[in-house]
Amino acid sequence: MQSVAPLLAALAAYLVGSLAFAVIVSRVMGLSDPRTFGSKNPGATNVLRSGNKPAAVVTLLLDALKGLVPVLLVKTYGGDYGMGDGTVALVGLAAFLGHLYPLFFRFQGGKGVATFIGVVFGIHWLLGLGAAATWLIIAFFIRYSSLASLVASVFAPVYYLMLGGVAWYAARPIALALGVMAALLGWRHRENIKRLLEGKESRLGPKKKA
């Protein structure tokens, strides 16, 4: 049983990650499908474009929780079933992949920022604070949400390796999973990267009047 427990945990995490809360919350609250307007990305930012801030906040929290909860469950109870850091890494990556490629929504998911942050906080609260602080600093001074997300994701595995008492060889599974997620975030933000290079990416905050 212990040999299949990590695979079952990863499968469960993927299925939880496949719950596209941007679509679900929009349906429950009678809003337009976020896949039909704006960036057509089923995420909290696009839900916000509907003009309904509470819906966007609920979407953001639920997307983060579906990354946080599976990781915390494995860390808390997984030891009794032979699940260690390798399973934590696998479960976090599975939840993240579920958000990007949801089984229940034709594998058309979001960019994964909120779920990534949830996974990071589940791995270690200090790691989560470090990633969140990095996002806030970049967003505050440079005012590009996409760039802040990319930088925070790149630094997350570095921060994890810097955590006190964690030897690099023991940290490899989780650091590798964080690196894979950072690479996937970069791929999902490829259009944003293109606009950043062209100077066309939208900044945070109110737009200047002509």
Q: Which amino acid is at 136?
A: L
Angle, vertex CA 71, rays to CA 70 and CA 72, nearest 5 = 95
Q: Which residues of 62-94 are buried (b: 16+ CB within 10 A; e: fewer)?
A: bbbbbbbebbbbbbeebeeeebebebbbbbbbb
Residue whose pair of structure tokens reads 């970049």 in the numeric block: 138
* 117: enclosing H helix or E strand: helix 113-123
Could you tell me the two tokens for 31? 């809003």
Please report, for the chain, how many H helices and E strands are present, in that order. 10, 0
97 Ramachandran zone, left/alpha/beta (phi>0; psi -120 to 50): alpha
Q: What pLDDT is attached to residue 209? A: 47
Question: What is the value of pTM for the model shown?
Answer: 0.90
Q: What pLDDT is attached to residue 210? A: 42
Q: What pLDDT is attached to residue 88? A: 94
Q: What pLDDT is attached to residue 183? A: 96
Q: What pLDDT is attached to residue 206? A: 54
Q: What pLDDT is attached to residue 39? A: 77
pLDDT along the chain (210 residues), means of 10: 82 96 93 85 86 91 96 92 90 97 90 94 93 92 90 93 61 89 94 90 62
In 10 A of CB 16, how many CB atoms? Answer: 19
Q: Which amino acid is at 18?
A: S
Could you tell me the two tokens for 11? 């499968």
